Amino acid sequence: MRPLVASLIAALLLSAAHAGPADTLDLAILSDFNGPYGSTTYPAELSGAMRQILRWQPDAVLSAGDLIAGQKASLSNAQVQAMWAAFDRDVQGPLRNAGIPFAFTLGNHDAAHTRDRREAERYWQAHRPALNHADTRRFPFEYSFTLAAPSGKTLFVAVIDAPQADLSDQTLTWLRGQLTSAAAQQAGARLVLGHLPLAGISEGKNRPGEVLNLADAQALARIMQQTETLAYVSGHHAAAFPGRWHGVNTLATGGIGGRDYLGHPGSDRSTVTRLTVDLASSTATFAIVDTSTGKQLNPSDFPARLDGLNGPLIRIDRLE
């Protein structure tokens, strides 16, 4: 074989070998890690989750909310500000120092009350994450951004204001506009990030007000289907569960100090999720890790089906 031909073949093989990784993004997902109301310290397992994430060195961290322990009217402005300072010390600061951007939606403990929303906005306007923002007109409550893989392909993420069961018409209109935008449609994959899930997942949270209202969940699902959005990523129930709901993928992110799955006593665990998005095929795989052991959970560790409020949710093993 001539040297030039051999070198060309070698170059093509090398390019093919790197085609997959060049088109992928590695994301860590960490949600629902707040302590008791007003707490300026976090559960001990959060430090283990943070160590795991810093070892992974993901392209970004996503969070489905409940970053601090607000949502109590008797807390003072100073107490809420101190909780955001603790968040910056224990979560945002270490990630920022490691060069890992943190993208989030605000949960009920972060933004349920007027005072809490004001203080959340004050903190995040002063500590904007290093993201390629597409729309920040209502940041930090609703915003969108893109993340780029080495190949240049992008992931588009729309963050919605969903710490409560009702989604406003404004939110749904904004979301449709974001997911049909040129930046979203040119992306290799699209995600929606919100706090409340589409359907019930965990014991103690399977009741009205703890999941999106059915009509709003259905409206969100229709927008996702029409725009070929890969998944809705949610929190609040502190039980990790990858599922399919009426034709759309959902990824409940779990939390620190988890809850039992509906009908499965003793199944609570603290988790952090690693999501690998393949932008060439618009699919994703995930590894859900038990923070107490550092071990990845198997599909058999999750219920095959959950029949909670707005259900059912059917377990899936990948997002596609």
Task: Note the pLDDT of residue 144.
Answer: 98
Task: Read off the pLDDT band of 221 (50, 70, 90).
Answer: very high
Which carries the bigger pLDDT value, residue 207 or residue 300? 207
Scored b (16 or more CB within 10 A) or e, 170-206 reads ebbebbbebbebebbeebbbbbbbbbbbbbbbbbebb
Q: Which two tokens stand for residue 181?
A: 């935008």
Whether the per-residue pLDDT at 52 is higher than 70: the answer is yes
| pTM for this entry | 0.92
| Terminal alpha carbon distance of the chain | 42
When pLDDT is cut at 50, 70 and 90, the band that residue 15 belongs to is very low
Run of H or E including 7: helix 3-22
% of the chain at pLDDT higher than 90: 91
pLDDT at 33: 97
Comparing CA positions, the residue from 85, 72, 68 lying closest to residue 32 is 68
**Predicted local confidence at residue 300, as pLDDT:** 85
Q: How confident is the model at residue 14 (pLDDT cuts 50, 70, 90)?
A: very low
Q: Are 279 and 151 in contact (CB under 8 A)?
A: yes
The mean pLDDT value for 269-275 works out to 96
State CA 257 to chain mean position distance. 17
Q: Which two tokens stand for residue 48?
A: 């283990």
User: In terms of Cα–Cα distance, which of 150, 184, 177, 193 is closest to 282?
Assistant: 184
Q: How many CA atoms lie within 13 A of 255 on its CB side?
A: 28
Identify the residue with better confidence: 216 or 12.
Answer: 216
Q: Quick check: 36 pLDDT over 50?
A: yes
Q: What is the structure's pLDDT at 12?
A: 35
pLDDT band at 182 (very low <50, low <70, confident <90, very high): very high
Contacts of 304 (CB under 8 A, 6+ apart): 314, 315
Q: What is the pLDDT of residues 132-147, one digit of tens each?
A: 999 999 999 999 999 9
CA distance 226 to 247: 11
Tokens 């009702």 locate to 166
Please state the three-class secondary structure of 283-298 as a single string: EEEEEEEECCCCEECC
* Domains of the chain by residue range: 21-315
pLDDT at residue 299 in the model: 86
pLDDT at 23 over 80: yes
pLDDT of 5 reads 39
Of 203, 201, 262, 263, which Cα lies nearest the Cα of 232?
Answer: 201
> For 282-312, how does the pLDDT look when each residue is reduced to its tens digit (9 = 90+)?
999 999 999 989 899 998 899 999 999 999 9
DSSP structure class, residue 200: -
* pLDDT for res 150: 96
pLDDT > 70? residue 8: no
What stretch of H or E contains 9? helix 3-22
Q: Is the pLDDT of residue 45 over 80?
A: yes
What average pLDDT is seen over the chain? Answer: 93
User: Is 80 exceeded by the pLDDT of residue 3?
Assistant: no
Residue with tokens 């920040």: 136
Q: CATH 3.30.390.50: does it fit domain 21-315?
A: no
Non-local CB neighbours of 88 within 8 Å, separated by 6+ positions: 123, 127
Query: One-letter amino acid identity for 18?
Result: H
The per-residue pLDDT for range 55-110, each reduced to its tens digit, is: 999 999 999 999 999 999 999 999 999 999 999 999 999 999 999 999 999 999 99
What is the model's pLDDT at position 21? 80
